[in-house]
Amino acid sequence: MQNKKIFIINLIYYLCMLSVALIFVLGYFDIITNSYLSTFLIQGIVMFAIPILLYSRFVTKNIKQTFSDFGFKKISLVVLLCSIGLGFVLFFINNYVADIFYTILSILGYDNSINVNLNVNSHIGIEFLLTAIAPGICEEVLHRGMFMRGCQKQGYTRYGLLFSSLLFGLMHLNVQQFFYAMILGGLMGIVVIISDSIYPAMIIHFMNNALSIYFSYGIKYNWPFADFKYNIETMIFSTNILLSIAIICGLIMLLLALYKILIQTIARDKHKRTALQLAKDLKMEEMNYIEMQNKLDEIEVVLEQTSPKSTLNLTNSNPPLMFVDKIFLYSSIVLGALITICSFIWGIL
């Protein structure tokens, strides 16, 4: 075995995937009939508690280090606002991609009536907690925290990003949600790598789900701007091709602009923190000229590496993993894919 920690990370994820699948099956056969209980088990226990406890026990040996590895690091106000904006824009792009994907599935005979949709008759506070807050925190802890950043800490950044996105799509165990969830997972993963914090992904995930709740309840209760989503989608799918292209291009340009602001802000923050730390550590009065010059050369190298011009690095710094390191990764993919394919089959029967 080449990388024991990667093996453990993949094993933890497989145990979580297996647990979610088991709860899913128990619910399908009405053994677990309480939706609140199943949500608590999946979100609170499987996707939050288990990853943190097992990672702390077998990888870091320290729960404080685990939270650091998972990316629980504060962000600036600008990053917070950019994350909210990204969540808003990605919600509409996400819905556009979902509509296209569902249209393709419908052509193949798929019917989404078997899926569980938002229950607008339930209390909005409960729906908000279970559908927006809990997934925004717990699903990000498992995918962008434990899996992606865990792999990143071991020198496998690209590996963590690609497979966390794929697994995020498969973890939904639903063919209708798989494709756009995978894309959203990749975009959130990039933000986490750029920011070195899991909070932006949690905010984006929360915004995506919270907006869905707002528009769903808003139509029923005539809330302000409740028809905004409907109007945007109507324009996108209108018979006016030029209008559709203009709306889509506008959303993509806004998305890229927010990403650019986010990257530049984070790069400047890192550069500033590095400069302040070096200035704090530097004791020029105790150095002779040669020592001083060597220290200044070191500072120049470090600051250049963290300059605002630095780019996203998705390289794997360690040698390729062996098959045994990834055996539980493949097991998770197979398990998630089988249930996702079954959901498609159930939808066309």
**Contacts of 99-108 spanning 24+ positions with Cβ under 8 A:** 99/233, 99/237, 101/176, 101/179, 101/180, 102/176, 105/175, 105/176, 105/344, 105/347, 108/348
With bands split at pLDDT 50, 70 and 90, how would you rate the model's confidence at 116? very low
Q: Is the pLDDT of residue 42 over 90?
A: yes
- The dihedrals phi and psi of 29, each to the nearest 5 degrees, come to -95, 15
255, amino acid identity = L
Do the beta carbons of residue 192 and residue 144 sit within 8 Å? Answer: yes
Q: Is the pLDDT of residue 209 over 90?
A: yes
Which pLDDT tens digit goes with each residue over 22-35? 999 898 888 998 88
> Positive or negative, the Cα torsion across 148, 150, 156, 159?
negative
With bands split at pLDDT 50, 70 and 90, how would you rate the model's confidence at 311? low
* Nearest CA among 232, 305, 240, 251 for reference residue 274: 305
With bands split at pLDDT 50, 70 and 90, how would you rate the model's confidence at 306? low
Once rounded to an integer, what is the mean pLDDT over residues 296-323?
70
Q: Give the least confident one: 115-119, 140-144, 184-188, 219-223.
A: 115-119
Start-to-end Cα distance in the chain: 44
pLDDT for residue 279: 63
Q: At what angle do helices 77-107 and 228-236 cross, to 10 degrees?
A: 60
Q: What is the mean pLDDT of the chain?
A: 87
319 or 52, higher pLDDT: 52
226 or 72, higher pLDDT: 72
Burial class from Cβ neighbours inside 10 Å (0-12, 13-18, 19+) for residue 74 reads exposed
pLDDT for residue 331: 97
Cα–Cα dist 306/236, whole Å: 40
Once rounded to an integer, what is the mean pLDDT over residues 218-223?
84
Once rounded to an integer, what is the mean pLDDT over residues 332-336?
97
Cα–Cα dist 186/148, whole Å: 10
The set of residues, in sequence order, having a beta carbon less than 8 Å from that of 51 and lying 6+ positions away, is: 12, 13, 16, 141, 142, 145, 146
Which pair of structure tokens corresponds to residue 79?
Answer: 């990053």
Highest mean pLDDT among 174-178, 316-320, 332-336: 332-336
Which pair of structure tokens corresponds to residue 133?
Answer: 């807050």
- The dihedrals phi and psi of 316, each to the nearest 5 degrees, come to -95, 115
User: 């802890």: which residue's tokens?
Assistant: 141
Once rounded to an integer, what is the mean pLDDT over residues 96-119?
76
pLDDT for residue 285: 53
With bands split at pLDDT 50, 70 and 90, how would you rate the model's confidence at 114? very low
pLDDT for residue 294: 72
Cα–Cα dist 348/334, whole Å: 21
DSSP class per residue in 227-287: THHHHHHHHHTSS-HHHHHHHHHHHHHHHHHHHHHHHHHHHHHHHHHHHHHHHHH--GGG-
Kindly state the percentage of the chain with pLDDT values over 90.
Answer: 50
Q: Is the pLDDT of residue 287 over 80?
A: no
Distance of CA 112 to the CA centre of its chain: 24
3 state DSSP class of 156: strand
Which pLDDT tens digit goes with each residue over 129-166? 999 999 999 999 999 999 999 999 999 999 999 999 99
Do the beta carbons of residue 303 and residue 275 sit within 8 Å? Answer: yes
With bands split at pLDDT 50, 70 and 90, how would you rate the model's confidence at 90? very high
Q: Is the pLDDT of residue 243 over 90?
A: no
With bands split at pLDDT 50, 70 and 90, how would you rate the model's confidence at 307? low
